[in-house]
Amino acid sequence: MVTPDFEDWLERQDVPIEETTNLEDYQTYLEEELGIHGGSLEVAKDVYSSKYVYESQLGIRAIEYHGVIRGIEYTDTRYGITGRPGLWGRESMLSIAEEIATERGLGDIAAWFREVRRREE
């Protein structure tokens, strides 16, 4: 089941770096500090792989963006990508990440981003 709002929120959380060195510590932190349990921890596996493993390898960083449209404030996640100017939305980031991984010969990572894109369509 696709949960983009939850994934987006989870990706923006500031988790202490010592809790991100491996998946088990990350999930324990989420359980104990944020009260995340059950199937949500399965979703967190993908967020962990993306944010702390794959995106960082490819020079991609999530940024919490604050804006105002017609006087209404909002928060969104945008992505900075090394070598590409500006900030990118999630759909574009996934496509660019797949492209970068393919160029670098990282077929498994490219396939992972391709699968995430397919699930989110």
pLDDT at res. 64? 83
Cβ-proximal residues to 74 (8 Å cutoff; 6+ apart), any chain: 66, 67, 68
Domain ranges for the chain, please list them: 4-120
Segments of the chain scoring below 70 in pLDDT: 1-4
pLDDT at res. 3? 63
pLDDT at res. 18? 83
pLDDT at res. 29? 92
pTM for the predicted model, two decimal places: 0.71
Listed residue (111, 113, 116, 118) closest to 81, CA to CA: 113
